Amino acid sequence: MKPGGERAHPSKSVSATELLPQKRMPRARVRLLATGCIAFLGFAGVCAQALPERAAHADAGEVDAPAETRQLEIGGATITVNIAAGRFDLPSERLYAWVGRAGRAVSLYYGGFPVVRAEVNVKEAPGRDGVFHGFTFSPDSGVLTTRISVGEHTTEQELADDWMMTHELVHMSFPAMADEHHWIEEGIATYVEPIGRAQDGQIPVESVWQQLVDGLPHGEPEPGDAGLDHTHTWGRTYWGGALFCLMADIGIRRATHNQMGLEDALRGILAAGGSMEKGWTIERAFATGDKATGTKVLTELYEKMKDAPAPVDLEQLWKELGVVPDGRTVTFREDAPLAAIRKAITEPPKARLMPAKP
Ligand SMILES: [Zn+2]
């Protein structure tokens, strides 16, 4: 279990604009073909957007030729893992297993891996330990690719605790959005990652809620903030997006007598072809997700949160869900009004696995 407060999500101290160009692509094209989570020293990371030319250039220039390649068959997909030349203290087997765990968590949540083919390029970070510089993009090859750095001295425990590999693979599951909707891409990756890992037994359920209790206050609007489409700070992008996802999950479960949840909406978007390989409007994605659940939850929540600050009373929400913050972890109350919904959110999903969508 990860210690409380070590959720290695980005710190406000580093901004995306310091790291990558923030040029805008022409509206007629898919503007966001790449998204990346860049972490520094294990405590700060920034998901940034990049122009495809930049991504292609970076990919060509910064990734070593693979020394080893293995194809993992996970959730109906073939994930090609390239481990770049370099020395790791751990045997390659442990790195393949780490990518495999991430792929399994994502496949469980989505009922199959989001795309039929994907690539993961693991680069060595000499002299370091931990996982850094996650970056997922759609290269010219058409095969969605995650590029990620692993420290030479990374330990098995660090790989077991790592969230970034799963976060990056979740990015493959949702269509590429225009710049102003980057929050939904990061929000989904932030929200789904721990749930998928808990569903697979990789982390305890308490850890999912503890991360939300710790993280979601960062997603609340600060004075002067506008809606999610307009305030593009770190907090509003990652955790504001995750807050949208949690509210959507609860909303769908309330509207369907707890028979469906956000995962059904997201699976519906994938089933309609909405992976990161495609550029969609946010309205199309939400309408498609709503159709899958027979509700209007995503569309109506978006209307509410896109332009206006729309704060959420988190203290009240934890009470309703029966989540009791308890130092560095949480405990649960089964007599809370939304306890059944809370449990359903992290329950391992229905057994049926859908094939991955091309
Ligand atoms: Zn991300």
Instruction: Give the span between the Cα atoms of 188 and 289, in whole angstroms.
Output: 13
85 domain residue, yes or no: yes
Per-residue tokens: 60: 């060509």
Whether 190 and 152 map to the same domain: the answer is no
> How do beta strands 117-125 and 77-84 pair?
parallel
Question: Count of H helices and E strands in the chain?
Answer: 13, 9
Q: How far is the CA of 335 from the centre of ligand 1 (A)?
A: 35
104 domain residue, yes or no: yes
Q: How far is the CA of 178 from the centre of ligand 1 (A)?
A: 15
pLDDT at position 350 is: 63
Q: How far is the CA of 198 from the centre of ligand 1 (A)?
A: 19
Q: Which of the four pLDDT bands, split at 50, 70 and 90, describes residue 295? A: very high
Whether 208 and 289 map to the same domain: the answer is yes
Q: What is the span of the domain harbouring residue 326?
A: 179-346
Q: Which of 138, 171, 204 is the last residue of a domain?
A: 171
Q: Which of 124, 153, 171 is the last residue of a domain?
A: 171
Whether 160 and 216 map to the same domain: the answer is no
Whether 137 has a pLDDT exceeding 90, the answer reads yes
pLDDT at position 66 is: 64
Whether 246 has a pLDDT exceeding 80, the answer reads yes
Q: What is the pLDDT of residues 142-151, one digit of tens each?
A: 999 999 999 9
11 domain residue, yes or no: no
Whether 147 and 282 map to the same domain: the answer is no
Instruction: For ligand 1, an ion, list residues with CB under 5 A.
Output: 37, 47, 186, 189
Whether 127 and 212 map to the same domain: the answer is no
pLDDT at position 303 is: 98
Q: How far is the CA of 125 from the centre of ligand 1 (A)?
A: 20
Residue that has been written with the tokens 């907090």 in this structure: 235
Q: How far is the CA of 299 from the centre of ligand 1 (A)?
A: 23
Q: How far is the CA of 257 from the centre of ligand 1 (A)?
A: 31
Q: What is the mean pLDDT of the chain?
A: 84
Which has more pLDDT, 293 or 8?
293
Domain count for the chain: 2
Whether 186 and 266 map to the same domain: the answer is yes
5 domain residue, yes or no: no
Whether 157 and 186 map to the same domain: the answer is no
Whether 296 has a pLDDT exceeding 90, the answer reads yes
Whether 27 has a pLDDT exceeding 90, the answer reads no
8 domain residue, yes or no: no
Q: Name the residue among 254, 216, 241, 212 with its Cα closest to residue 344.
A: 254
Residues 6+ apart with CB under 8 A from 91: none
Q: How far is the CA of 39 from the centre of ligand 1 (A)?
A: 11
